[in-house]
Structure 1
Amino acid sequence: MVRVKKTIYSLISAVGAAALAGVGLAAWGNTELRRFELKDVTVPLLPPGTLRGRDEFRLLHISDLHMIPGQSTKEAWVSALDSLNPDLVVNTGDNLSDERAVPDVLRALGPLLNRPGMFVFGTNDYWAPQLPNPFKYLFGIRRIPSYIDLPWRDMRAAFIERGWQDATHQRLEFQVGPVRIAAAGVDDPHHELDDYSLIDGPPNPDADLSLALLHSPEPRVLSEFERDGYQLSLSGHTHGGQLCLPGSRALVTNCGIDRERVQGLHDFGRMKMHVSNGLGTSKFVPLRLFCRPSATLLRITETES
Structure 2
Amino acid sequence: MTSPLARTALTTLGVVGAVGAATAVWGIGIERYLYTVRRHEVAILPEGSSPIRVLHLSDIHMAPWQKRKQRWLATLASLEPDLVVNTGDNLGHAEGLAGVRAALDPLRDVPGVYVHGSNDHDAPHFRNPFQYFAGPSKKVEDRGALDVHALDSYLQSDLGWHDLNNAGTVFDAAGVSIGAFGVSDAHRHWDRLDELPPVVERIATASPDVTIGVTHAPYIRVLDAFTEFGADMIFGGHTHGGQVRMPGYGALVANCDIPLDQARGLSMWTAGGRSVPLNVSAGVGHSIYAPVRFACRPEISLITLLPRSGVDSGHRH
TM-score, normalisation: structure 2: 0.89
Q: Secondary structure at the match of 2:75?
A: helix
Aligned residues of 1:38 and 1:295 also touching (Cα < 8 A): yes
* Structure 1 segment 1-305 matched on structure 2, within 5 A: 2=1, 11-30=9-28, 31-51=30-50, 56-146=51-141, 147-162=143-158, 163-200=160-197, 201-202=200-201, 203-204=203-204, 206-247=207-248, 249-269=250-270, 270-304=275-309
Q: Which amino acid aligns with 1:19?
A: G
Instruction: Give deviations 1:205-259, integer Å, cap 9, x for gaps.
Output: 6110101010011011111111111111111011111111114711111111001
Between 1:287-296 and 1:147-156, the stretch displaced more is 147-156
Between the aligned residues of both structures, percent identity stands at 34
Structure 2 CA distance for aligned equivalents of residues 210 and 176 of structure 1: 12
Q: Secondary structure at the match of 1:82?
A: helix
Q: What is the number of residues matched between the two proteins?
A: 299
1:21: how far off? 2.3
Q: Which amino acid aligns with 1:78?
A: L
Structure 2 CA distance for aligned equivalents of residues 45 and 152 of structure 1: 33
Structure 2 CA distance for aligned equivalents of residues 141 and 126 of structure 1: 18
Q: Secondary structure at the match of 1:221?
A: helix
Q: Which amino acid aligns with 1:238?
A: T
Give the superposed CA RMSD. Answer: 1.8
Structure 2 CA distance for aligned equivalents of residues 133 and 119 of structure 1: 29
Aligned residues of 1:217 and 1:236 also touching (Cα < 8 A): yes
Aligned residues of 1:252 and 1:259 also touching (Cα < 8 A): yes
Instruction: Give deviations 1:42-70, integer Å, cap 9, x for gaps.
Output: 0000111233xxxx111110000011122
Q: Which amino acid aligns with 1:122?
A: G
Q: Which amino acid aligns with 1:62?
A: L
Q: Which amino acid aligns with 1:213?
A: V
Q: Which amino acid aligns with 1:138?
A: F
Q: Secondary structure at the match of 1:204?
A: helix
Instruction: Give deviations 1:175-200, integer Å, cap 9, x for gaps.
Output: 12321111111010012111112222
Q: Which amino acid aligns with 1:79?
A: A
Cα gap change, 1:224 to 1:11, in 2 (>3 Å): same
Cα gap change, 1:155 to 1:248, in 2 (>3 Å): farther
Between 1:17-26 and 1:112-121, the stretch displaced more is 17-26
Q: Secondary structure at the match of 1:64?
A: coil
TM-score, normalisation: structure 1: 0.93
Structure 1 CA distance for aligned equivalents of residues 23 and 183 of structure 2: 37
Unpaired runs of 5+ residues, structure 2, are 311-317
Structure 2 CA distance for aligned equivalents of residues 111 and 169 of structure 1: 27
1:134: how far off? 2.2
Structure 2 CA distance for aligned equivalents of residues 167 and 40 of structure 1: 24
Q: Secondary structure at the match of 1:103?
A: helix
Structure 2 CA distance for aligned equivalents of residues 95 and 258 of structure 1: 24
Aligned residues of 2:49 and 2:306 also touching (Cα < 8 A): no
Structure 1 CA distance for aligned equivalents of residues 63 and 10 of structure 2: 39
Structure 1 CA distance for aligned equivalents of residues 307 and 283 of structure 2: 27
Aligned residues of 1:127 and 1:145 also touching (Cα < 8 A): no
Q: Which amino acid aligns with 2:176?
A: V
Structure 2 CA distance for aligned equivalents of residues 213 and 111 of structure 1: 22
Q: Which runs of 4+ in 1 moved over 4 A?
A: 6-13
Q: Which amino acid aligns with 1:145?
A: V
Q: Secondary structure at the match of 2:55?
A: strand
Structure 2 CA distance for aligned equivalents of residues 248 and 198 of structure 1: 38
